[in-house]
Structures are given as C-alpha cells and as structure tokens.
C-alpha cells in the first residue's frame, strides 16, 4: 500500500477516535460542544463540561498518542539494532528495567521528572547489557534474546515486588500503574514527555539511512563507513530515553513496539526506516488511543487497564510472529 494513503487513513482514524474518546465517558459531551470549546467559543457550554474536557479527557487523549508514538518508534529502532523481529522493549526486558527505576523514584519520593530520569538511567544500563549478551555476529539469536529478556524481567520484577511490599498500603497505586494507566494524565506531564519524544524522533529520523544500512548486516554497514557498535549503542540509549519516560508516567504498556512496526511493514512491503519510523510514530499513537478508548468504554464504568488491552492484541500477535519465524528458520 502507498505510504501517502496510509498517512491519510491514520490521520482520519486519529481524528475520529479522538472525537469519540473526548465525547464518551460517564458524562457525555456533544461533538458540537467539543468543537466550540476547542475554538474558544464555549461561552454557552457548562463550566463542568469544560473542566472535564480540558483537564481530564484531552490530556488523556494526548498522552495516549504521545506514549504510543514513543513506544512504536522505539520498537522499530530496537528491532533494527538487534536485527530481530521479536525485539520489543517490553519483551526483552527494557521496559521492566524502566519500571524498576520508576519504582525506586517513588520509594525515595522524588519529583515527577526524576521518575523518567531514573527509569531512563536503569533502562540504558540494562539495554547495553542485553546488547552485549545477545549479540552474536551480525544478528542477535532469537532464543538467546528472549531468554535474556525473561531472566532480566524476572530478576528486576522480584526487586519491584519487594519494593511494593515495603511501600505497604500505597502499593495499590503501583499495581494499577504497572498494568498501564493513563488516567493520571496532566498538562505538566505532557510537556515533560514532549522533550524526549521530539529528541528521539528527530534523532531516529536523522539516522534513518544509517539504520537502513544495518539491515544489510553489520559487516556490510561497516564496509560503507558506519561505526556499527557506536550507532547501535546510541540508538539503544535514545530508545531507553523514551521507554523510560513513557513507563515512568503511564506504567507497563506492552506489545505496541511489536504490533505497529510489523503491521506497517506488511502494509508498505518495506523495512526502510526512512519510511517506517514516521509511520510507526503516527500508527503507534492511533493504536494506543484506540486501546485506551476500548479500555475506558467496553466495561464502563469499570476501566480495563490499557496494558491488559494491548496484551490482549499483542500476545496472539507475538505467538504468530514466533511461529512464522520458526517455520522460516
């Protein structure tokens, strides 16, 4: 499918789902009222509806889009770095390390921005360890990568569980957050997330041609003048930056970086990062917003954690990729 057509479809979907998400909830807000409030002509709209829209629903929609963009673009790059179709930050343990860092920030009662900072620091260290342990020749072996991911997730998960035990009564907040939660979205958090998002997307897009050379193998890329080791480390550090901040503010949301890049590769019939990175960013935002809307509305007034919704789609997709890779190998 043509990339331009996919952009148009994704933009239409983003607009449609955003309007539906903004209007739907325990209090219904009409589409006309939404439009009037957005253009600053909401004089005849009830103040309570304005508050709900501008301080609750709109920040939630925006943070869903931003985090989806961060996770999908990170997944695209991590798969290129490891040259492995199953290398998603959630699966290989990067997200678990970010969770551990954020829990440490909670224990020490650090400010919001430090949640992302500490999550980033821990996830960078773990990413480099994963890269060193799993890299063999040009590619990372799938079974080795998954075993390392499971081991690291379990190891750090044990520390996270112990930390929750020490926290005591407040541990329920951590449990809710660990399943993925966007309900705490605020404008200050959105502004903080914009910083790592713009840095990472700009850096990935700037290095898109070098990433494409990695698809031909490390030796080929090296022969064309690419410092492969340096490039991969830098990519993992920047990926850890956006995973760290997204996990710190919204919890563990899995499989976005697996589903979105693969689906788009199938649609555009190309693995070119020059085409895939911007598409994956937009597609990730749309996908996560759809998942959040499903979680809010399907069992309303009960809310399904967004991490549960993404896992509902992601687990079967992961099994499909694993089986396809096995048949291919």
Q: In the numeric block, which tokens belong to residue 287?
A: 């996908």
Q: In the numeric block, which tokens belong to residue 176?
A: 């809710």
What pTM was computed for the model? 0.89
Counting every residue, how long is the chain? 329
Q: How far apart are CA 200 and CA 231, in angstroms?
A: 14
Q: Which CATH architecture has domain 3-328?
A: Orthogonal Bundle (1.10)
Mean pLDDT, residues 8-17 taken together: 96
pLDDT at 137 exceeding the cut of 60: no
Mean pLDDT, residues 85-92 taken together: 78
Q: How far is CA 266 from the centre of its chain?
A: 20
User: Tell me, what's the pLDDT at 141?
Assistant: 61
Angle between helices 94-107 and 112-134 (to 10 degrees): 150
Map tokens 């992302």 to a residue.
116
Q: How far apart are CA 281 and CA 284, in angstroms?
A: 5
When the pLDDT of each residue in the chain is averaged and rounded to a whole number, the result is: 87
Mean pLDDT, residues 235-251 taken together: 89
User: Tell me, what's the pLDDT at 218?
Assistant: 82
Range name among 3-17, 132-146, 182-196 with the lowest pLDDT average: 132-146
Q: Where are the domains of the chain?
A: 3-328
User: Tell me, what's the pLDDT at 203?
Assistant: 94
136 forms beta bridges with 139
User: What's phi and psi for 41, nearest 5 deg?
Assistant: -115, 40
Mean pLDDT, residues 26-41 taken together: 87
> 238: buried, middle or exposed (CB in 10 Å: 19+, 13-18, 0-12)?
buried
């Amino acid at each position: 499918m043509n990339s331009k057509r996919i952009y148009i479809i994704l933009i239409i979907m983003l607009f449609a789902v955003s309007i539906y998400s903004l209007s739907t909830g325990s209090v219904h807000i009409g589409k006309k009222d939404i439009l009037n409030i957005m253009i600053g002509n909401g004089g005849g709209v009830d103040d309570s509806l304005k508050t709900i829209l501008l301080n609750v629903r709109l920040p939630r929609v925006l943070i869903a889009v931003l985090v989806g963009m961060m996770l999908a673009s990170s997944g695209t790059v991590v798969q290129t770095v490891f040259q492995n179709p199953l290398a998603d930050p959630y699966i290989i343990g990067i997200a678990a390390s970010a969770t551990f860092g954020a829990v440490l920030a909670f224990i020490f009662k650090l400010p919001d921005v430090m949640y992302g900072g500490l999550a980033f620091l821990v996830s960078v260290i773990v990413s480099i360890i994963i890269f060193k342990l799993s890299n063999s020749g040009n590619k990372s072996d799938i079974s080795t990568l998954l075993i390392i991911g499971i081991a690291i997730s379990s190891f750090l998960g044990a520390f996270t569980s112990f930390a929750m035990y020490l926290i005591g009564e407040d541990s329920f907040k951590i449990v809710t957050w660990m399943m993925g939660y966007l309900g705490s979205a605020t404008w200050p958090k959105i502004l903080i997330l914009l910083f790592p998002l713009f840095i990472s997307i700009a850096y990935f897009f700037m290095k898109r041609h070098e990433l494409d050379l990695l698809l031909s193998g490390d030796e080929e890329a090296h022969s064309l003048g690419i410092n492969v080791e340096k490039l991969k480390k830098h990519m993992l550090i920047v990926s850890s930056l956006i995973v760290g901040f997204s996990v710190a503010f919204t919890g563990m949301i899995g499989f976005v970086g697996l589903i979105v890049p693969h689906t788009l590769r199938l649609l555009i019939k190309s693995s070119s990062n020059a085409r895939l990175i911007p598409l994956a960013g937009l597609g990730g935002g749309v996908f996560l917003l759809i998942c959040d809307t499903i979680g809010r509305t399907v069992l309303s007034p009960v809310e399904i954690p967004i991490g549960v919704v993404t896992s509902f789609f992601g687990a079967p997709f992961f099994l499909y990729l694993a089986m396809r890779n096995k048949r291919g190998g």
